[in-house]
Structure 1
């Protein structure tokens, strides 16, 4: 396990939330280009969200079964460093855009993870999310983390699905992922109702503080 778990704040819809994530120390930011999602952004919105994101923070564009033209129109207008595919895209589709990409997998059994690492040789990592029929991601639900194989032969693992400040430390201890990805778990609530796409800076900071804490403990225990 690396001494440092990378972090991504996904589903951003506002520039101030992107900058709050940067200030808290996030490694990557995620923009959702999937219209059915409550966190979806237009190209114009996306460009505004990341306009002031500084160097060394990666901007990721998330798609679900897009056309080539849809992906290219985003790349032509928005600063995008990494592509993230959540649908039924194959290796050839994912690899054609001259951008590094990651492939999301909805985990039902351990063999899903191993098979996906083989099926997507060009992926820089595989993102593991919860399986829910008909929902390509963003369920806000965790999955059985014991299904994630512990093997040096796998691609880097990005853990997603239902993470929040209260469970991310346990998740890192159990899965030992390369990175963690959070969306709903750091969103604002109003009268007890989650405000999808609106982030809570306090929750972002709490989430990242937990990641730093467990990483520091890992580092200490190794020495």
Structure 2
């Protein structure tokens, strides 16, 4: 079974739509440069409406350790996701399972070996040093062999995720813009269509 995270949640109704459609996790963005950034108060209110067993993932990009800890004190996150130039030692210090996004865009993709203690790796389409959420895919033939659980991201939508799952067999997929009507606002229908495409391949 391929797991699904709906990322960039900014509204409680979208979190509920994701959960009711069968998503395994939602992503909350704490990177201020993102159009999907939310503050702690809104993040807490989103977490409160989620049913049991939906995983809450917090996304950071080159945040300070103090910022991450402050977020953990205010928001009940289950996983941490790092999208910047964070070192492995930085990522592992917070007492939560964590995943590192590897930038597959550009001429020199990130090396999975640099994060051999991550609980999971996320292959995304952005270039090194850039943020994700662009809605662009990367050349899936460039996906490295990863010896630990991994997540496919970058430009996924209801029309292409089935092919991506068949071709790459990831442990999970992560979608944001591919189920949106505009940045940060999800579509119930697109979420449901995405979930069906993952399930039926």
- What's the TM-score bracket when you normalise by the shorter of the two chains? over 0.9
Q: In structure 1, how many angstroms separate the alpha carbons of the residues matched to 2:32 and 2:190?
A: 26
Residue 59 of structure 1 aligns to a residue whose secondary structure is strand
Q: How far off is 1:135 after superposition?
A: 2.4
Partner of 1:156: 149
Matches of residues 7-86 of structure 1 in structure 2 within 5 Å?
Answer: 7-86=4-83
User: Which of 164, 168, 176 is the equivalent residue of 1:171?
Assistant: 164
Q: In structure 2, how many angstroms separate the alpha carbons of the residues matched to 1:208 and 1:5?
A: 10
CA-atom RMSD, angstroms?
Answer: 1.7
User: Which of 95, 102, 110 is the equivalent residue of 1:105?
Assistant: 102
Residue 58 of structure 2 aligns to a residue whose secondary structure is strand
What is the aligned length? 201
Partner of 2:140: 145
Q: How far off is 1:112 after superposition?
A: 4.2
Gaps of 5+ in 2: none
Q: In structure 1, how many angstroms separate the alpha carbons of the residues matched to 2:50 and 2:38?
A: 17
Partner of 1:121: 116
Q: In structure 2, how many angstroms separate the alpha carbons of the residues matched to 1:131 and 1:12?
A: 19
Gaps of 5+ in 1: 189-194, 215-223
User: Which of 85, 88, 92 is the equivalent residue of 1:95?
Assistant: 92
Residue 51 of structure 1 aligns to a residue whose secondary structure is helix
User: Which of 130, 136, 151 is the equivalent residue of 2:131?
Assistant: 136
Alpha-carbon spacing, 1:134–1:121, altered in 2? closer, same or farther (3 Å): closer
Q: In structure 1, how many angstroms separate the alpha carbons of the residues matched to 2:122 and 2:173?
A: 9
Residue 61 of structure 1 aligns to a residue whose secondary structure is strand
Residue 88 of structure 1 aligns to a residue whose secondary structure is coil
Q: How far off is 1:179 after superposition?
A: 0.4
Alpha-carbon spacing, 1:121–1:134, altered in 2? closer, same or farther (3 Å): closer
Q: In structure 1, how many angstroms separate the alpha carbons of the residues matched to 2:138 and 2:85?
A: 20
Normalization by structure 1: what TM-score? 0.86
CA contact (8 A) 2:103 2:128 kept: no
Normalization by structure 2: what TM-score? 0.95
Query: Segments of 4+ in structure 1 off by > 4 A?
Result: 108-113
